A and B are shown apart, each in its own frame.
Chain A
Amino acid sequence: MKGDRQGGGRADYLRPIDQKAGRIDMAHGAGGRAMAQLIHEVFAAELGNEFLDQGDDGARLPPLAGRLVISTDSHVVSPLFFPGGDIGSLSVHGTVNDVAMMGARPLYLAAGFILEEGFEISVLRRIVASMARAAREAGVPVVTGDTKVVEAGKGDGIFITTTGVGAVIEGADCSGRNARPGDAVLLSGTIGDHGMAILSRRENLSFETDIVSDSAALHGMVASLLALVPSVRALRDATRGGLASTLNEIATQSGVGIHVEEAAIAVQDAVAAACEFLGLDPLHVANEGKLVAIVPAAQAERALEALRAHPLGRRAARIGTVVEDSHRFVQMTTRMGGRRIVDWLTGEQLPRIC
């Protein structure tokens, strides 16, 4: 984000941008003065930090120690604002978490914005402010960025892509390929909160509920987990496709099976009820603040202790075990005592959730 090209720090704008009634027009993406002003008065005003303020085409960062991790995530959620967050905070949490799941400490973010002509600048400002707050709270600054504008009808208000850079925490070796038969499968809390919070605010489907998205940055919890249990094999945040898809990803990558207990998987009453009347399985509903950890069985209790000691992991529980299985099935013992497969989500369950 080239905030201030000119020597004094700001271009020669005659009037400030109209942040109350103004709307994005094609000039805001054309590379001219209007774009520079938007960047300066909206993006840099909220997100500013020593790297972004360099105003160059990219950010020059201090030397990093250890192995680097890079991860990218695009955010297209609808509605843009939902109980517990918005597309701005989500775009920070999503990428911070993806970096953290690699056993890494997230350090910097880059952000790309695709804005639709006609988008209200006041709404953009709210989103960018929320993004800045989330980045500040996470301690992960947005150090570079880009803005493009597409014609009305060719976007859906705003899309945000964030890329995160981080450094692997010393001693950590987390990968979905590392699960071994006998390992314990841990889950950091209740499932389905984010997806149902989004769905409860859909235009064509809104229903009265107090469900709040669990959108949160998980890197603090990951750091305390790895400090206590460096031998964590795999971490993954259970986002799109829900817990079911996350477990299947790990089983597939590691060439193992996973057995879980339905009774151990926590679902809030309101989420369970909403899933019930919409015919959804909470196992397939997205989360934005929950992680699955695969740890050696002997470390399961220690790992649970570490997770539960963190505010975001109070309801952490062991939900199952990694087993040998050439079919790589994820199976669940139901509350009834019967067994069934927990399959990947088929098709789309909830469009545009993150």
Chain B
Amino acid sequence: MKYIDEFRDGDLARTVAQAIGRAVRPGRDYRFMEFCGGHTHAISRYGLADLLPEAVRMIHGPGCPVCVLPIGRIDQAIAIARDHGAILCTYADTLRVPASNGLSLLKAKARGADVRMVYSTLDVLAIARAHPGREVVFLAIGFETTTPPTAVAVRQAAAEGLANFTILCNHVLTPAAMHAILAAPAGVALDGFVGPAHVSTVIGSAPYEPFPRDYGKPVVIAGFEPIDVLRAIHLLVQQVNEGRSVVENEFTRAVTREGNARAQAMVDEVFTLRPSFDWRGLGAVPASALMLRPAFARFDAERRFAVPYAPVADHKACECAAILRGEKRPRECRIFGTVCSPETPVGSCMVSSEGACAAHYTYGRFREAA
């Protein structure tokens, strides 16, 4: 595959890995957080840990949309589908996230709720058009990457006057989560971030500039291919060695400083900041998520259905929260791989292939067994 294979070249990977190995200073550790689940997945799927020197430790960040979604939000979606008879549409990973009472959207579906997996928001509009007599709700989740497609659907629904379409909005903001991690009182020892790939294509690199400036943490934006990740780590090691702290862009083939102005304008037209949003792991984070603007409020499922959000505590033994904050590793959770596995996930990090626990279980658990 052109434009892909070049970034999965084994020889090149080894060359970059050797350069990292030469760059690390004896006696010091480098702790980098890859914010995105996409990076977590790439690191695990390509076995990049085997190529990195011992001194470099990657900490998995909260950038996995289904992982940070609190249980109470899934409960709302289930209630809409089950108690209000709506057709509930969402992206695949969301279906398996454990909710209250041993349910998930997939289990609710097995019990008769009309839950459908979609690949695109436009599929949801098609379903709404095909079922004019039923309520069709899109459980909208994700960071800045998936927000523009939701905005497109809402605008389209408004233009068509699709009265039976609404969204349960859970779109969240990357920079706000990075602030929350760095500002946490307990603090996570971090030397820098591997910055988001797809999110940055939308928002650009400028929104990360406060992190070097205010917290002294370098950010290197990287694509999701293995060579991208290795190059970003190399650039981070160099910044740390030189005592520099800036935003660098490894993913220049897709990311500019300004980002995608049209997508941003469309999102801005449809959405506005929520005063506060509950994140799994990070708790309530002010101005960290989006909601529909008053002009589009008629498409807000939370207004159409009486399904108030109620916070739900995580399973007692589940360490997802600490893992999402970068404080713990998956194997430090005592139910990892025993009670909690991808087939029977207890916490959200075990659900999506981008979740830290699922990635480690699926690709890396041989490391402990050895």
Contact = CB atoms under 8 A, between A and B. Distances in A.
Interface string B45-83: 111111100000000000000000000000000000000
Interface in A309-330: 327, 329
Interface residues of A, number: 24
Interface string A287-303: 00000000000000000
A276 B1 contact: yes
B1 A273 contact: yes
Contacts of B118: 204
A338 interface: yes
Contacts of A276: 1, 4
A166 B183 CA distance: 68
A343 interface: yes
Given A336-B10, A336-B51, A337-B14, A327 B1 contact: no
Interface in A273-293: 273, 276, 278
Interface string B134-145: 000000000000
Nearest to B4: A276
A340 interface: yes
A205 B14 CA distance: 38
Interface residues of B, number: 32
Interface stretch (B165-173, B211-219, B240-248, B361-369): B361-369
A346 interface: yes
A341 B364 contact: yes
B119 A336 contact: no
A338 B81 CA distance: 43
Contacts of B365: 329, 341
B342 A334 contact: no
Contacts of A338: 46-51
Nearest to B123: A204
Contacts of A347: 96, 106, 342-343
Interface string B334-369: 000000001100000000000000100111111001
B8 A335 contact: yes
Interface string B13-51: 110000000000000000000000000000011111111
A263 B364 CA distance: 19
B223 interface: no
A33 interface: no
B366 A327 contact: yes
B46 A336 contact: yes
Contacts, number: 78
B324 to A, nearest CB: 20
Interface centre among A273, A327, A333, A346 (most CB of B within 10 A): A346
B10 to A, nearest CB: 4
Interface in A241-271: 263, 269
Report whether over half of chain B's contact residues are helix, strand or loop; otherwise say mixed.
helix
Nearest to A351: B117
Given A276-B1, A336-B46, A336-B47, A343 B366 contact: no
A144 to B, nearest CB: 35
B188 to A, nearest CB: 25
Given A204-B119, A331-B366, A337 B1 contact: no
B204 interface: no
Contacts of A340: 44-47, 363-364
A339 interface: yes
A337 B10 contact: yes
A272 interface: yes
A205 to B, nearest CB: 6
B226 interface: yes
A336 B226 contact: yes
A262 to B, nearest CB: 9
A337 B51 contact: yes
A25 B252 CA distance: 62
Contacts of A346: 342-343, 358, 362
B1 to A, nearest CB: 5
A213 to B, nearest CB: 21
B286 to A, nearest CB: 32
B363 A343 contact: yes
Contacts of B96: 347
B1 A341 contact: no
List of 5 A-B pairs having minimum Cβ-Cβ separation, nearest first: A338-B47, A338-B50, A346-B342, A340-B363, A340-B47
Interface of B: 1, 4, 8-10, 13-14, 44-51, 96, 106, 118-119, 123, 126, 226, 342-343, 358, 361-366, 369
Given A329-B366, A334-B47, A340-B47, 10 more contacts: A334-B46, A337-B14, A337-B47, A337-B51, A338-B51, A341-B362, A343-B342, A343-B362, A343-B363, A347-B343
Interface of A: 204-205, 263, 269, 272-273, 276, 278, 327, 329, 331-341, 343, 346-347
13 contacts: A204-B126, A272-B4, A273-B1, A329-B365, A334-B10, A334-B47, A335-B13, A336-B14, A337-B51, A338-B49, A339-B47, A339-B366, A341-B365
